[in-house]
């Protein structure tokens, strides 16, 4: 068990999560959240563990990213990469951005 945990930490990349304005009140008002994670799914898990008030705004009870939110790694929507399996590397900016919708 211990070696598994160490492997996870070793593989994690240091990234910055950009939060849109409506989500900042769930995260002490900050716009940029530094985290370490291997991929986008792991990043969401770390948000759930470290930011319990923020997490339900991003994912529903099933763990799915909310329908009208998009997640970008740098300039690319993860939908066009490997989805939640998109691997992160040091220095990546992961942006959570509401879709353009409504009326």
Partner 1 sequence: MPDRVMLTIGTKKGVFVAEGRKARRTFELRGPFGPGVPVYSTLVDTRGTPTMYASSCNPFFGMKVLKSTNMGKSFKETKSAPAFPKDDGRALINIWSIEPGNARKELWAGVEPASLFKSYDGGDSWEMVPGISNHEHARKWNPGNGGLCMHTIIRDGKRVHLGISTGGHYMSEDGGETFAPANKGVGAGFQPDPYPEFGQCVHKIVRHDAVPGRLYMQNHGGWASWTGPGGPRPDIGVLRSDDYGQSWRSIAKGLPSDFGFPILVHPDDPDTIYVMPLEPATRTCPGGAPAVWRSENGGDRWSRLTKGLPKKQSYFTILRDAMTIDTLKSPALYFGTTTGQLWMGRDGGEAFECLFDALPPIHNVKVAVV
Residues that bind partner 1 (CB under 8 A): 22-23, 56-58, 60-64, 66-69, 98-99, 101-102
Query: Which CB, 3 or 62, lies closer to partner 1?
Result: 62
Q: How far apart are CA 25 and CA 12, in angstroms?
A: 27
Q: How far apart are CA 50 and CA 7, in angstroms?
A: 20
Query: Which CB, 41 or 66, lies closer to partner 1?
Result: 66
Q: How far is the CB of 60 from partner 1 (least distance, A)?
A: 4
Q: How far is the CB of 34 from partner 1 (least distance, A)?
A: 22
Who's near 39: CB < 8 A, 6+ residues apart? 82, 84, 85, 86, 87, 88
């Amino acid at each position: 068990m211990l070696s598994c945990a160490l492997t996870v930490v070793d593989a994690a990349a240091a990234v910055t999560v950009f939060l849109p304005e409506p989500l900042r009140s769930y995260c002490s008002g900050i716009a940029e959240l530094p985290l370490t994670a291997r991929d986008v799914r792991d990043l969401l898990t770390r948000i759930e563990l470290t930011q319990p008030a923020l997490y339900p705004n991003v994912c529903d009870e099933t763990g799915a990213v909310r329908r009208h939110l998009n997640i970008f790694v740098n300039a690319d929507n993860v939908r066009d990469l490997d989805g939640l399996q998109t691997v992160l590397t040091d220095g990546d900016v992961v942006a959570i951005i509401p879709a353009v919708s409504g009326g």
